[in-house]
Amino acid sequence: MKTLLRIRFVALALLLFVPSLSNAKEPGVTDDSILLGQSAAFGGPAAALGKSMRDGAMVYFDRINAQGGVHGRKIKLVSLDDGYEPERAIANTRKLIDEEKVFALFGYVGTPTSYAVVPILTEAKIPFFGPFTGAEGLRDPVNRYIFNIRASYFDETERLVDWMVSDRKSNIAVFYQDDSYGKAGLEGVRRAMERRKLQISATGTVQRNTVDVAGAVKSIGAVKPDAVIMISAYKSCAAFIKELNKTRQRPIYMNVSFVGSKALAEELGADGHGVIISQVVPSPLYPWGAALEMRNLLTERSPGVKPTFNDVEGFIAAKGIVDGLQRVGRDLTREKFVTALETMRNVDLGAFPVTFTPKSHSGSQFVELTVIIGGGGSFPFLPLSRPGATAQRGNR
């Protein structure tokens, strides 16, 4: 009899306990908010990249919040400065997960910083959405929790090499940051050249967060290249261009999108004219899609502010994560969110289609080439459609 009473007591206790479990909230989710976490460079030589990524995202998050949020929950973004250094990114990520209790990680900036936190986010099973990097290692093999909005560095370097070789210029050198970011871009160039039975003519390196480019200028300058493809941050790329120009060489300088177009143009001044940059989002000047939507919102909140390519990428990434959150509904969990993202097929984020599947978390392969015109202006970029159209040796 006593045993039967004990069983009934335990059963009653379990019944009382189960509802409390069902009402337990997912980390970062309350009745009226969703908390996202970001680690990026907000100080140091790459600060412009982190600030632009966050600013662009907040334009869209603020709009959604003004409309009542996502299923009644407003989005909050906690951003921490990692100075574009992996160790600081690791510490920030642990803080965001363990202390801030964020629902998802969003808008990280950089390959070395993103690579460094992959083991942490994978173990925590926390979504990692829209990092500002084109590294192949975040795409292949597919990690269930990592979702890339932008094209890869392999996509960008393929386009750059194709543009040069189509113009019968095959003496191509590579200036790269000596870390996982630079090496990812270098490998992209190598593969693109190899497909055309060509080889990189010379390489030169620079350490992350420095502008010591003397060795790179010497090694690359020695081969008098037709073009230099650059895989580094804006300050070191600008330093390299200025120093090589002093030798009276005028190769075509080509950068991948991570460089930060506006920041690079400002660093270069008059030396920027004719520099090519591959872009992975549409121009902020386009009169349609996400670019137009963002400009209209900026006019309302910050008249006179002109968005950059980086701002547009942050804006589009924000649209992407909101689309995923909306798909889940009110009963939001990390696993349901990941599953919902994998149902996105050709979703229009503003003249920018994105597709995710369980076998591919690379949302876009969009790449467009642009060229700096004039140098040092507020937004001196034009689309570049064919070899020889604008960027020519000696035109600076």
Q: How far is CA 341 from CA 36, 198, 346, 348, 360, in A?
A: 16, 39, 12, 14, 11
Is residue 58 within 8 Å of residue 77, measured between CB atoms?
yes
Using the structure block, give the residue that is written with the tokens 């001044």. 269
Residues 298, 252 within the same domain: no
Query: Domain containing 214 — which CATH number?
Result: 3.40.50.2300
In a domain, 136, yes or no: yes
In a domain, 8, yes or no: no
Is residue 170 within 8 Å of residue 197, measured between CB atoms?
no
For residue 217, the enclosing domain spans 153-279+369-383
Q: Model pTM?
A: 0.89
Residues 268, 357 within the same domain: no
Q: Is 290 strand, coil or helix?
A: helix
Name residue 118's amino acid: V
Residues 70, 168 within the same domain: no
Token pair in block for residue 245: 């120009």
> How do the pLDDT tens digits run along the chain, 396 residues long?
444 445 444 444 444 444 434 335 799 999 999 999 999 999 998 999 999 999 999 999 999 999 999 999 999 999 999 999 999 999 999 999 999 999 999 999 999 999 999 999 999 999 999 999 999 999 999 999 999 999 999 999 999 999 999 999 999 999 999 999 999 999 999 999 999 999 999 999 999 999 999 999 999 999 999 999 999 999 999 999 999 999 999 999 999 999 999 999 999 999 999 999 999 999 999 999 999 999 999 988 888 888 999 999 999 999 999 999 999 999 999 999 999 999 999 999 999 999 999 999 999 999 999 999 876 544 456 777 655 444 443 333
3-state secondary structure 346-375: CEECCCCEECCECCECECCCCCEEEEECCC
Residues 374, 260 within the same domain: yes
Chain length of the chain? 396
**Tally of domains within the chain:** 2
pLDDT at 302: 84
User: What is the distance between the alpha carbons of residues 150 and 367, in angstroms, rounded to a whole number?
Assistant: 9
pLDDT at 19: 40
Residues 100, 168 within the same domain: no
